[in-house]
Amino acid sequence: QLQLQESGPRLVKPSETLSLTCTVSGGSISSSLYYWDWIRQPPGKGLEWIGSIYYSGTTYYSPSLKSRITMSVDTSKNQFSLKLSSVTAADTAVYFCARHVLQLPDKYYMDVWGQGTTVTVSS
Amino acid sequence: DIQLTQSPSFLSASVGDRVTITCRASQDISSYLAWYQQKPGKAPNLLMYAASTLHSGVPSRFSGSGSGTEFTLTISSLQPEDFATYYCQQLHSHPFTFGPGTKVDIK
């Protein structure tokens, strides 16, 4: 059974870089059938899509965050990562990683999610 | 960006009620729409994709319909475990936006 687990510092100082890793277990990240996504949820608010990465390294980022995001994939470790630079209090959120299924030609969805990790931006 | 709106934003209902949530897109997204259920402190769970395809393991009391710009999620007979927040998401084009959510509460 596929599982995703987020990891990384829970407290980040303003202006610094938030770094998170999602470890995929029970399946391979190197599949042509999936993208791997990051989504976040500020306290008491809705879901915000951050970006997607393919095992080949192809990325798609949210335009609102694009200037501050870097996503990467390490197929040898079955992991993908998120870096968000120049963080402010507005970046405080629960960060989820998820598997994004590409069931061509027209069925796309996020079917497996990590439990989420709370990241607080504060000095 | 494609904007999604949901109505109502809050819904109070009783066990056994039929519940319908609407999601509207700011432009045509064909059937590239998914629905998720989220309970407090938990990750979202996929309910429906391609607007009307029930995800594996999801009870048949959940159904979805629509295409283009208007979509609905229906729960035919609300169960105690269905009290949660429901989100729609468009996967037609980047960025893959979510709706603001509909909270279903106990009446």
* Chain A contact set for B87 (CB, 8 A): 46-47
- Alpha carbons B28 and A23: distance in angstroms, whole number: 35
Q: Which of B32, B55, B101 sits opposite A108 (nearest CB)?
A: B32
**Which residue, A24, A27, A51, A46, is CA-closest to A113?**
A24
Confidence of residue A107 (pLDDT cuts 50, 70, 90): confident
pLDDT at A57: 95
Q: What mean pLDDT is predicted for residues A92-115? A: 93
Give the gap in angstroms from C-alpha A15 to the nearest C-alpha of chain B. Answer: 25
What radius of gyration do chain B's Cα atoms show? Answer: 13
- Alpha carbons B105 and A28: distance in angstroms, whole number: 39
The residue behind tokens 């608010």 is A45
Is A46 in contact with B31 (Cβ distance < 8 A)? no
What is the per-residue pLDDT across A32-64, written as a single tens digit (0 to 9) for each? 999 999 999 999 999 999 999 999 999 999 999
pLDDT exceeds 90 at position A103: no
What's phi and psi for A67, nearest 5 deg? -70, -15
